[in-house]
Amino acid sequence: MRNILYTIAAFVVLQACKSKATETKSTINTDAIPVKLMAINSDTSLTAITASGIVSTENEAKLSFKIGGVIESVLVKEGDKVKAGQLLATLKSTEIAAQVQQVQLAVEKAQRDYQRVSNLYKDSVATLEQLQNAKTGVDIAKQNLQQVLFNQQYSKIYSPVDGFVVKKIGNAGELASSGSPVIILNALSAKNKWILKAGLSDKEWAAVEVGNKAAITVDAFPGKTFNAVVSKKALAADAVSGSFPVELQIDFGNEKPAVGMFGNVSIIPKHSSVGFSIPYEALLEASGKKGYVFVTDDKKTVKKVEVIISDISNNTAYIAEGLQGYKYVVTSGSPYLSDNSTISVQQ
């Protein structure tokens, strides 16, 4: 009888232990979320800086007349190539020619007056003061003549450089005021080349140096990539956009672009940047330069952390900050996780 009781007691204890183990195992399988992990290692790479901008040339001239008047002729059209010294536009010369003639007559009269006073002074009829005043009258008349001759010279517009006409603002018969642009000219020569003007953030601006190589694509030339180099960095932010302008000199080869075309640029900094590279799928709620990932150190629970994204390329996200000090990042199963979730690592 005693043996039967011992047997029954042992059976009950065995069943209780088995039930508890099954319950524990069931609990673990139910709570743990299967994920895949990747070890976090620092990545030193040349991260490209991307931006967009407008194609132009290095120098742009807004040409105008020195004096106002009626435009007689505009001898070029938009898009025309011009040479340095080429006549581009003229004013009607009637008014300025009359001014020149009037001043020339004034010079002649002043010279006659001076000669007459000089003769009288020799005869002791005119005083020294009168002679000096007559000489001053001649000098003033000659200065007035130089002024009107200068204005007459700039009643015509000549091209200051080799280039092409971007825009023709004035037309024959219109009234042009002094200093108002009539023709906009872009210089294009061995010293004045095609450029792309782009805006960068302050951090990107600091990473870029004059001489950095770049690649540019232009919508007008699909499938083609043009070599470029950073030629200029502005030392102040743009007042409107707040970005920092940079200029890149482009080698278009045999292509013929136009001012105002839209282009995308990828700049390669010379100095390496240290960060982390993770699969793009590991990112959660990415917005602009910020995103979130799940990390773990013990492979048992996860933590949601914010990261700063420096670039995304070929399904790889380059992380500048946020992963320092962590061992593993979750690369699969993230949508089912929350902060402090229990995980089971899948191979």
- Any idea what the CATH number is for the domain that residue 148 is in? 1.10.287.470
pLDDT tens figures, 253-287: 888 888 888 999 988 887 656 678 888 888 888 78
- 218 falls in which pLDDT band (50, 70, 90)? very high
pLDDT at 328: 93
287: domain CATH number is: 2.40.420.20
* 15 domain-assigned: no
For residue 263, give the nearest of 234, 228, 289, 231 by alpha carbon: 228
Coil, helix or strand at residue 103: helix
Within a domain: 178 = no
Q: What token pair was written down for 13?
A: 């204890």
Last-in-domain residue among 267, 298, 313? 267
Angle ∠(318,198,291) on CA atoms, nearest 5: 25
Number of domains in the chain: 3
Same domain, yes or no: 192 and 247:
yes
Position 229: which residue type? Answer: V
List Cβ neighbours of 101 (8 Å cut-off, separation of 6 or more): none
Q: Give the number of other CB atoms < 10 A from CB of residue 272.
A: 11
Task: Collect all residues with Cβ–Cβ distance below 8 Å to 267 and sequence separation of at least 6.
Answer: 48, 49, 50, 51, 208, 212, 213, 214, 230, 248
**Tokens coding 292:** 């979130």
What DSSP designation does 161 have? S
> Nearest 5°: phi and psi at 144?
-60, -35
**Mean per-residue pLDDT for 313-326?**
82
Note whether 226 and 261 are same-domain residues. yes
Q: Examine the fold and report which residue of 267, 283, 300 is the final residue of a domain before the chain moves on.
A: 267
135 with 203, same domain? no
pTM: 0.49
Cβ atoms 327, 39 nearer than 8 A: yes
Q: 201 lies in a domain?
A: yes
- The answer as to whether 307 is a domain residue is yes
Query: Strand (E) positions, 258-302?
Result: 262-267, 273-279, 284-287, 290-296
User: Strand 284-287 to strand 290-296: parallel, antiparallel, or no bridges (unpaired)?
Assistant: antiparallel
Same domain, 214 and 262: yes
- Give the confidence band of 132 by pLDDT, cuts at 50, 70, 90: very high
Given this model, what pLDDT does residue 103 score? 92
The span from the CA of 112 to the CA of 346, in Å, is: 110
CA distance 295 to 301: 9
Domain contains 146: yes
pLDDT over threshold 90, residue 188: no
Q: Of the candidates 108, 130, 154, which is a domain's last residue?
A: 154
Q: Which residue has the higher pLDDT, 12 or 105?
A: 105
Q: How confident is the model at residue 28 (pLDDT cuts 50, 70, 90)?
A: very low
CATH of the domain at 207: 2.40.30.170
Residue by residue, DSSP assigns 169-206 as ---TTPEEPTT-EEEEEEE-SSSS-EEEEEEE-HHHHH
Task: Flag whether 241 is in a domain.
Answer: yes
Identify whether residues 259 and 192 lie together within a single domain: yes
**Three-class secondary structure of residue 295 per DSSP:** strand
CA separation for the pair 55, 194 (Å, rounded): 7
**Sign, CA torsion 89/93/99/103:** positive
Same structural domain for residues 246 and 296?
Answer: no
In a domain, 89, yes or no: no
Which domain range does residue 114 map to?
Answer: 94-154
Judged on CB neighbours under 10 Å (0-12, 13-18, 19+), 326 is middle
| The pLDDT value given to residue 198 | 92
pLDDT of amino acid 25: 42
Mean pLDDT, the chain, rounded, equals 84
What Cα–Cα distance (Å) separates residue 8 from each residue in 15, 16, 20, 280? Answer: 11, 13, 19, 60
Instruction: Tell whether 18 is covered by a domain.
Output: no
Provide the 10 A C-beta neighbour count for residue 5.
Answer: 9
Q: Which residues pair with 156 in a beta bridge?
A: 90
